[in-house]
Structure 1
């Protein structure tokens, strides 16, 4: 059932060191405020912090009470307040209100702000503006990377996607460069760095600057090649319905920081249960990459094997029973508990995902990907909108239609947009503007307009290259405004159909596709589509660069690069173990389906992939980040 990899596959590096480093630095920062203190933690840092340092660890270092940052007056009576926050202006303003309120009431306290992963100039400016700069000490907790599993590392920065790809805010570039530099200093040097996308290029340049500024130490590399890829290189893949087990669990139950909460419908009791989903869970590890249609067969076989193991105790003498209880029983009980949870989760997924509606939905998606019966697909989407099935699902289908058709015909765009706004509310006009700016949901432009746009792209490319020569200088606000307007006016083109033909992303129809024994990465979408992002990575690794893919990179608006890293050419030619360990960094998020596809290539070609991502994403999270809700 679970696919066996090649026997010569290399061993992955040990990433637990990243956790230890983060924990030690946090403890050091807390101890810099000696004595008992109350700690206020940003809501979205709660789960990552729990993976690094639990409550008992914090208590050992004189943290008295823990509070969640809620942007309202505080009830703490402690004389020392410590704030562990993301560098957000709103949160810093809230802290300045607390300090000024204490001052007004004549109360003296000590305050410390720990920004993570870094502090931005704007945060200091707010402290200065509000007159509390001298009353507050601040520091940075360089918590860039959280290992979620043996081969998954997350920066846990979901805001990266909207900040950069929608708002053009480049403040996280240095953060991503620092994260890459941390991996380089612990597990490098890297032999080759490949990348595609404007953001990937900036992150690469930020990392190179840090490498040049730091000390060069010769050591045995544990990671060979690195591939940086922007999320906007491939929007189609995250917008497709996930059908591998791990992807479905994420879509339905929302995996948060490598942990999922199964409710009463799964546990068959009144309580919810939190479960860590990683390779330590033997049951999960064998089904995570499987197409959902294969999961029940595996789970029932597993249940039979477990029963056989339990039945062994019959007829045992006392000594054998003693050995069984001390060595096997605990493991069997744990496996039994996990098995029953995954069976419960699978049943819950079955109820939601095997209804006729879902089958129709998949059929529509596959037709869009194959450019087949598009008018019928539009009819299905209209019905989906008018029945108000799901606001996000309707947006997903509209975006998928636009991306695969390289934009909608003006009459279709106007009609579908009007129906959507009638069904879900006129406040979503701004959401449509965001989707248009991202190139996710656009009208097809007349041919003349596109040539004008292409010349504008060329001019902006030159301008952005000139700007990159001055990384330390601040561009005046008026100029950045003009730049943003210029970028947002571009009619982004998807070119999906042409890319699909060039890279053969759609397997030939008419051929039987056995999902139990997949022949390519298309199995993660029921044999209908090979994910563009993963196909690109596979092709570049096969060719050792972008040669032969010039037409593909042109369709993807360029910004590709391939640079030889720290090792010498001779070393790079020898396929050592580290050479077959590939680090892929997704800037803007990565889905569990893409991870499954990369693991599949790894098993086939003898590679091991490590996925580093700004955050784990799926169609729901990606589109929710682009919604404009009224305040």
Structure 2
């Protein structure tokens, strides 16, 4: 049972290993950036107090991001960062109008009315102005930090990775970043993991070049970190097991195992350029589920919330799209899983499974608000949480209320540090 007294109708268990792409995409929604720079813990974050420039004696204040304590955050938490300034300005303009109304009320008010106004309206306006000012300061701080790095170029590189464009330029950019000894050693690792995961690994030549350059730039004490990333299939060289092997269902059952074994050996021995460039698991499923909208698709004719907005309309989180399909069209997801198995993509058998209690009907599903608990096994990002919030807002004819139970909340830096510290 949830706090409102209603029961959870649907529980979704999502394994992080199904989507290793999204955690390594740079977050662009406001709450995701707050988490990246100020580390949100339990709905609260710690920010430096104004006027404290001395790091040794820096003082902090703890800020709650609960909608009960912050009336501004609800409207901007899932918003793309470039739109937050305009939304805060509009909110400030509305507060100024309300403040003028309060001033008019105070002119002819009695003493008891003044007490009531001070206790309710005036106090509310003061708190609202304080929250608006705080968010403006946070936006300015984030903007200055992003401007200090070549963040715009990095976003372009990430977009090319997700859309399978300009592979050579991406490798060159990452290699240059490493050779210049980027101060934050996790930034090139983020791109390396994203590139490797999206392509089912890198060619042996590129993998060894980038590993060697990284160790020379950041020290050979990072060998265990690279080893762990390889074992987790986050940054590794292409292997024969990563190449999809289509299964011929017409082969007699007695000979199918021998046929697969023979085909596997042949692929391992003759890994040609064609097998190197064929569609990876991510690029196949991205096309089938429209995870990377084309430029002409980004201009939507019907304005409204969309899951792709959290990544600037260039990427829909794979995890969120799978959850959407599981709720709306489980038959389509089962068909997709069958296609992936037929094409021989590794890990396709773990993509989707469904169990029903048989209690709720399709009609009830649309008429009553559904409480959906999403359990992210292996953690999730703030962007994924906000993408699902956008999904709930975008479905006018379906009433969804999402509740989240992640085992951890990740940013790409926090995830890499956790992997590095693990035994």
TM-score by length of 1: 0.55
| Separation in structure 2 between the aligned mates of residue 365 and residue 418 of structure 1, nearest angstrom | 22
What residue number does 2:93 align with?
Answer: 304
1:516 CA drift (Å): 11
The correspondence of residues 197-208 of structure 1 with structure 2, limited to 5 A, is: none
What residue number does 1:292 align with?
Answer: 81
2:313 to 508, 524, 527: 527
The correspondence of residues 143-542 of structure 1 with structure 2, limited to 5 A, is: 222-264=7-49, 271-280=59-68, 281-315=70-104, 316-319=107-110, 320-355=113-148, 357-389=150-182, 390-446=184-240, 495-513=281-299, 517=303, 520-542=306-328
- Structure 1 gap segments, 5+ residues each: 1-11, 16-186, 188-220, 452-492
Per-residue CA shift, 1:261-282, capped at 9, x if unaligned? Answer: 1114699997422101122211
Instruction: Say how many residue pairs are matched.
Output: 372
1:412 CA drift (Å): 0.5
- CA 313–527 in structure 1, closer or farther in 2 if over 3 Å, else same: closer
- CA 290–517 in structure 1, closer or farther in 2 if over 3 Å, else same: farther
Report which of the two has the higher share of helix.
2
| Separation in structure 1 between the aligned mates of residue 133 and residue 77 of structure 2, nearest angstrom | 16
Alpha-carbon contact 1:262-1:275 (below 8 Å) kept: yes
- CA 267–598 in structure 1, closer or farther in 2 if over 3 Å, else same: farther
Per-residue CA shift, 1:230-256, capped at 9, x if unaligned? Answer: 011101111100000000100111111
Per-residue CA shift, 1:145-191, capped at 9, x if unaligned? Answer: xxxxxxxxxxxxxxxxxxxxxxxxxxxxxxxxxxxxxxxxxx7xxxx
What residue number does 2:336 align with?
Answer: 549
| Separation in structure 2 between the aligned mates of residue 620 and residue 435 of structure 1, nearest angstrom | 13
SS at structure 2 position matched to 1:406:
coil
TM-score by length of 2: 0.80
- CA 450–598 in structure 1, closer or farther in 2 if over 3 Å, else same: closer
The question of 1:585 aligning with 2:371 is answered no
Q: Report which structure shows greater RCO (CA 8 Å, sep ≥6).
A: 2
- CA 267–579 in structure 1, closer or farther in 2 if over 3 Å, else same: farther
- Structure 2 gap segments, 5+ residues each: 246-278
Alpha-carbon contact 1:522-1:528 (below 8 Å) kept: yes
| Separation in structure 1 between the aligned mates of residue 218 and residue 310 of structure 2, nearest angstrom | 31
The question of 1:613 aligning with 2:402 is answered no
